[in-house]
Each structure stands twice: as C-alpha cells, then as structure tokens.
Amino acid sequence: MFTYKDIPRWVDSAKKYGVNAVLACGWDFGGHDKGYPYYDIEPRLGTEEELRAGIEYAHSVGVKFFFFVNFHQMDTSMDIYKEEFEDYRITDQFGNQYQMGFGMGTFAARKNWSSPKLMSINPSYKPMRDYIVEKMKWLVEIGADGVHVDKIGFSNLTAIDLNPKIRAMGYAPDTSIWKGILEFCKELDEACKAINPDFCFSIEGSWDRFLEYTDVNWMWTNPWAADHTCTIKYTLPEWTPCYCIDQPCDYTTVNEGIRNGYQLFISPMMITAGMDHPKFTKLSAYIQEVEKIRAQVKDVIYYGRFMKKSDAAAWVSSENHVKYKCFVNEKTGRKGCVFTNTDSQAQEASIDFLSGLGEFTVYTPFENPTTAKAKQKINVPAERIVVVIQN
C-alpha cells in the first residue's frame, strides 16, 4: 500500500522491470471504488501537492501516469448522489435498479464486507456527464497522461432503462444508455486533449464502438480456459484486451497474454505492492524478459493478425498442455507463432506452416535466440513460452 509520498518508490519498482506506465488505483476520496463521483484527493494518503510531485517524478524518469476512475457509477452514500443524480439512475419498469459493489485492497473489501453500493446513472443525463468530464480535466491539469474508465461497459447488465424521468427527456429506453456512453467518450476525449494533446484512455468493456476512441480494454477473460478465442481481436487486430497479473505464481497468465497479443495489467499482491515485493520479484523479472522478446517481434505477434488454424498447422507433444497462436503481419507477410506450456515439465513443438520459407528464429526467455527450420522439434520449457518468427 502506498501514500502519495510513496509514488516515486512505486514508480521506481515498475521502471526497474521495464514497465513505462503506471495506473493509480484507490487514490481518490474514500478509496478504491468508493466516494464516486467526487474524484478528489484522499486526505489519509496526503496532499494535492504531494500527488502532483509524484506525477512529476514519474515523468522525470520516463514513466506515464494514469488514474483509475469510473464514469456513471456512483456511491449511494454520497450526498451529491442523493441530491443531484439519484432521480436519473437506471431502472426497470418497476423502479428497481442494479446495484454493484467491489473491493480490492483489503481482506474485508475482497469479502465484500466493506465495499460500498454503487448505482449506475443514465449516461444520457448531460449534467452528470459534464460533472465527470470536469473532474477528469482536473486530473489532466495536475499531470495525468490519461485514465482507465472502469465499468463503462457494464451497462450490458442493464441495457434498457425504463426510468420515466429519462423517457420524459425524450430518450428511448433501448438506446439512451449507449448513446450517452458514446457522447461521454467524445466529450472526455476532446476536453482532455485540449489540455494535453497526448491524453488517452482505456476502458472496461467489449463493445467494438469503443474503438473510435480507444483500443485498450480490460475484460474478465479466464486465462485458464481450455483455449481462449477473442472474437473481436480476430476481426479487429488493433483491439488489445488485457490480462491482470496479480499473484507471484501467475506465469500462465503472463504467457497467455503474450500468446493472445494482449497487454498486461500488473497489480502485484492484489494491488497492494510494487513489482519489487520480495514474493513478486521472480515473476517481475520474467515479465521483463518476455516483454523484451515481444518488443523485438511486436510487428508480428502484437500488431499482426491471428491466422486461421487451417492456415497455421503446428505439432505439439501434448495438446493438453501446449497451446499456440499464429500471427501474420498483413503489410509485410511475415509470420510467427507463440507456444505456451502449462505443464510442470518441458514439452516439444514444431512449426509446419513455415515450410518452404527458410529458417526462423526461436526466442526462449533467458536464453539466446536460436535458428530452426520447419518441422524441427523445439523445446518448450515448463510454464514458459517460446516465440517463433520467420526470418
């Protein structure tokens, strides 16, 4: 856990392992997922001057600084919710509403004992959008490079709003939520870029319309699934979902993130520590190593398009443990493949679809790159990845 004064130490722990962007969670009034929509400093963590100084330090060492925020979710215990926004909450025809509550940083919060009740306000209610945009502008003014807007895609849980006050304003029940969300994205983007032209934001949600404003999203995808298929990313390669890495044993999650061309949200010890936590340093070093590999071949395995399995034949010694995804850079035609091994012992794999394309380079974490040919067996170490790229 960190205060505003601790930001330089937190930033240094990320920078040490090659991470160049940090996301502050639980930084605001009330703590994580509490106090919305105030988005002000939490006095128990320090002063605004200390927060500004922390952001300035991050920039001085080349690290981007982002804030975790929400949009139309509000803490029902806050006076401003009761006085200004409660009448415009999303409801069914009987006036019932969907409440949510989350906890991250403490045992009581994770057990949902101390998490607040959050209510969703209809995004078409412009006074609410204006209020939130002003709060986001303040964050940019004190130095933020951007924000992560969490739960903005949660409206699929309450996709239709039958609140009579919203209908009386001329908004249709089936479109008011979604139109309001897109209006907010536009207003947020324009207002904040007027202050910092490099401002950007990520979201939580899987709606493809978000691509107009952002290509980074957080989704609750299970990296332990038999074989995850991201339909949106198959269709739109620029879509970059994220996996959350929060436990020292999360090697499989890291590997699956690389295999699927995803970004990594690194939140050591369930968002309570830095990457230099004694129990986390081994995984931190591994993340740094695999990201070094990905940086060398990102034109294929990050910016490339998934190949259909019918066009990308590969052999593996254990289909239960070894998974793979094959990529092609559509501009250059360069191809590659990422193998992951969930087994506690090494397995083998070989590439068939690169036959006739000459040699390719094999990248294994903490080893020097080697060369191989199609159908040549490749060692895939236990709980590790191997990246194969056409030369």
> Per-residue pLDDT tens for 133-169?
999 999 999 999 999 999 997 655 558 899 999 999 9
CA-based torsion, 198, 204, 206, 208: positive or negative:
negative
State the pLDDT at residue 207.
Answer: 86
**What does the pLDDT read at residue 157?**
54
C-alpha 391/C-alpha 386 separation (Å) is: 16
Residue 144: predicted pLDDT = 98
Q: How far apart are CA 390 and CA 302, in angstroms?
A: 15
Token match 């930033």: residue? 11
CA distance 344 to 366: 18
Position 223, amino acid: P
What lies within 8 Å, CB to CB, of 150 at 6+ separation is 68, 69, 70, 203, 204, 218
State the Cα–Cα distance between residues 246 and 251, nearest whole angstrom.
Answer: 10
Kindly report the number of other CB atoms within 10 A of residue 213's CB atom: 17
Alpha helices, H only, 3-103: 7-15, 48-60, 79-80
Confidence at residue 391, expressed as pLDDT on a 0 to 100 scale: 86
Please report the sign of the dihedral spanned by the C-alpha atoms of residue 39, residue 40, residue 41, residue 43: negative
3-state secondary structure 142-165: CCCCEEEEECCCHHHHHCCCCCHH
Tokens coding 83:
């006085």
Tokens 């990050």 locate to 302
Q: Can you give the pLDDT at residue 232?
A: 85
pLDDT along the chain (391 residues), means of 10: 95 98 95 92 97 98 97 94 95 86 74 84 96 98 97 72 93 93 97 98 90 87 69 87 92 94 93 95 98 97 89 87 93 94 95 75 97 90 96 86
pLDDT at 109: 74
Give residue 375's pLDDT: 84
Cβ neighbourhood burial of 187 (10 Å; 0-12, 13-18, 19+) = middle
> Tell me, what's the pLDDT at 100?
85
Strand pairing report for 378-380 and 240-245 = unpaired
> What is the rounded distance in angstroms from the CA atom of residue 106 to the CA atom of residue 177?
32
Q: What is the pLDDT of residue 388?
A: 95
Residues 63, 174: Cα–Cα separation, whole Å: 41
Output the pLDDT for position 355.
65
Q: How far apart are CA 242 and CA 247, in angstroms?
A: 16
Euclidean distance between CA atoms 214 and 386, whole angstroms: 30
pTM, 2 dp: 0.93
Rounded to whole angstroms, the Cα distance separating 75 from 101 reads 9
Q: Provide the pLDDT for residue 200.
A: 97
| pLDDT digits 0-9 by tens, 16-47 | 999 999 999 999 998 889 999 999 999 999 99
What is the spatial distance between Cα 340 and Cα 256, in angstroms, rounded to a whole number? 7
Asked whether 141 and 156 are in contact (CB, 8 A), the reply is no
Name the residue with tokens 């949600």: 205
- Pick from 107, 155, 154, 128: which is nearest to 39 by CA? 128
**Angle, helix 126-141 to helix 176-193, in steps of 10 degrees:** 30
Q: Is 148 exposed, middle or buried (0-12, 13-18, 19+ CB in 10 A)?
A: buried
Rounded distance between C-alpha atoms, residue 9 and residue 347, angstroms: 40
Q: How far is CA 181 from the centre of its chain?
A: 19
